[in-house]
Amino acid sequence: MEFLRYFLLILLVICALTACIGKNLLTAVVKYMSFSLIMSVIWVLLQSPDLAITEAAVGAGITSVLYFLTLKKIRAIDVRKKEEEDLPHESAVHMVTHYFTENTRLRTLYKIFAVVFCLAFAGILLYVVAFLPNFGGADNPINNEVAARYIEQGIQESGAVNIVTGMILFYRAFDTFGESTVLFSAASAVLILLRIDSEDKRHFVSVDTDLAFKADPILQKISLILVPSLIYFGVYIILNGHLSPGGGFSGGSVMGAGLILFESSFGAKRVQRFINEESYTAIKISALYIYGIIVSYFFLTGANGILSAIPLGTPGDILSSGGILPINIVVGVEVACTMYAFYSMFRRGEI
């Protein structure tokens, strides 16, 4: 097992280096997908299957799809053109890089500085890592009375068999709420900055004839099998998040991947039969309100030492863990809707 971990770690380094050094953008995206898939296996070996599911769905799946769409939009996948014609020459970064690479002396200094900087940065990281406690050591700072409380009394107090879910959504619900606020603010900022309001500009950057939807019978046949499986599996992960590895974010990521695959196979008009702008807005706002109400109730009762009126149920049952189950459901819905919305807006040229 140790040999496998070291082997996967070496593969991670190789994928990262080759993706950064390579000049072909399509190849770099494929290497990034490989990096994410290897990372998923490592998470499984580290006994974190919930992170492995999220890494595979978001990293190797949805993020890679967005990268491929970006390459298609800038015509970087067109093999009939030279790579230099595919890249945006007007960017400031490209102009500076082009200036340094054209001058032989500056190009040499540029390479030397880059190597020295990378080595120095790597040396600093290795120096800091040397002071970290040994992995899995019994005397690590993390092994204190707090972790013991989670393990020994987590099921009785939270009702969640999955200790990680109980810790995140019960003991550390305030931290999780803060993280959700940060993610929501970041997503809102990205939409505000990238959204195209002008119809002329939107038409200019919109999906052209090369990106127009083209029905692929092979992809559609495969999607008829994969999409229901992904949706059902995502629902299973959400509903069993308090019983087994998973939860709202992991299950929502899988469901979002299923919606994206469905739109890629059958087009946006088929998806809009059951998810249009009105239903999307209603679902997303309702989920946000429910999440805020439940978490606020947890804050009120916990800060004042009041016992929660929400029954914990029998540990191991689906209807258990008090408010953790509905939180997982609304978080899963939020994640699935957000991922699909980003993909849909990006594909239509609205961002």
- The percent of residues above 70 in pLDDT, for the chain, comes to 83
Tokens of 345: 């807006």
φ, ψ of residue 196 to 5 degrees: the values are -105, 115
Q: Which of 42-51, 108-117, 133-142 has the lowest mean pLDDT?
A: 133-142
Question: Three-class SS string for 84-151?
Answer: HHHCCCCCHHHHHHHHHHHCHHHHHHHHHHHHHHHHHHHHHHHHHHCCCCCCCCCCCCCCCHHHHHHH
pTM attached to this predicted model: 0.68
- Distance, in Å, from the CA atom of 253 to the CA atom of 338, rounded to the nearest integer, reads 9
- The percent of residues above 90 in pLDDT, for the chain, comes to 4
* pLDDT class of 238 with cuts at 50, 70, 90: very high
Q: CB count, 10 Å around CB of 2?
A: 6
pLDDT tens profile 64-120: 877 887 777 776 655 444 444 444 444 444 555 555 555 667 777 878 888 898 899
- Distance, in Å, from the CA atom of 203 to the CA atom of 197, rounded to the nearest integer, reads 10
- Distance, in Å, from the CA atom of 42 to the CA atom of 44, rounded to the nearest integer, reads 5
Mean pLDDT in residue range 277-301: 85
- Distance, in Å, from the CA atom of 21 to the CA atom of 28, rounded to the nearest integer, reads 9
Look up tokens 């994640």; give the residue: 335
Cβ(258)–Cβ(231) under 8 Å? yes
φ, ψ of residue 179 to 5 degrees: the values are -65, -40
Q: Which of 70, 62, 8, 60 is nearest to 33 (CA)?
A: 60
Quickly list DSSP for 68-82: HHHHHHTT-S-TTS-
Cβ(287)–Cβ(333) under 8 Å? yes
Q: Measured in whole angstroms, how far is the alpha carbon of residue 135 from the centre of its chain?
A: 26
Q: What is the DSSP letter of 161?
A: S
Per-residue confidence (pLDDT) for residue 351, from 0 to 100: 64
Which of 23-37, 101-115, 141-155, 337-351 is the most confident on average?
Answer: 23-37
